[in-house]
Amino acid sequence: MTVLTVYEMDYDGVNVAAAYVAAAVGQIAPSTGREFIHIKNASGGAITCTLSLNDYAGIAVDDVVITVGATTGEQMAGPFSPAHFNATTDGVALTWSATASVTVGVFRLP
């Protein structure tokens, strides 16, 4: 699993130039409860990003599915509660319906 780099935000924005990375199998978005993801889709078709939720008191709950439109689609989601979203000790597992021409960035709120 690849843990994505988190870009720290300040009250006046991101302090460094954020580098979005290509969507890929096995990505983890770190989550302390202050992070969100920004997905950009430049492909010709809509894509989905699935965030797996942890079971609650032994009861399975539905995953969160984010749909991002085609060509110039963008979507932000989060922040993610570690108790509900951290499928691994590293953070939130991201599963993509397609990865071609899709990029993602992870940002931490102040």
Q: Is 15 a residue whose pLDDT tops 80?
A: no
Phi then psi dihedrals of residue 82, to 5 deg: -55, -35
> How far does Cα 94 stand from its chain's mean position?
6
Q: In the prediction, which pLDDT does 63 show? A: 86
Q: Quick: pLDDT tens for 16-60.
A: 778 899 999 999 999 999 999 999 999 999 999 999 877 766 777
Is residue 99 a contact partner of residue 27, using CB atoms and an 8 Å limit?
Answer: no
Q: Is 69 a residue whose pLDDT tops 80?
A: yes
Q: Is 88 a residue whose pLDDT tops 80?
A: no
Q: Residues 86-97: what's their mean pLDDT?
A: 84
Q: In the prediction, which pLDDT does 98 show? A: 97
Q: In the prediction, which pLDDT does 43 show? A: 96
- Tell me the pLDDT of the chain averaged across its residues: 89
Q: In the prediction, which pLDDT does 79 show? A: 93
- What pairs with residue 6 in β-bridges? 106
Structural domain boundaries in the chain: 2-108
Is residue 35 a contact partner of residue 6, using CB atoms and an 8 Å limit?
Answer: yes
Please state, for a pLDDT cut of 90, what percent of the chain lies above it. Answer: 62
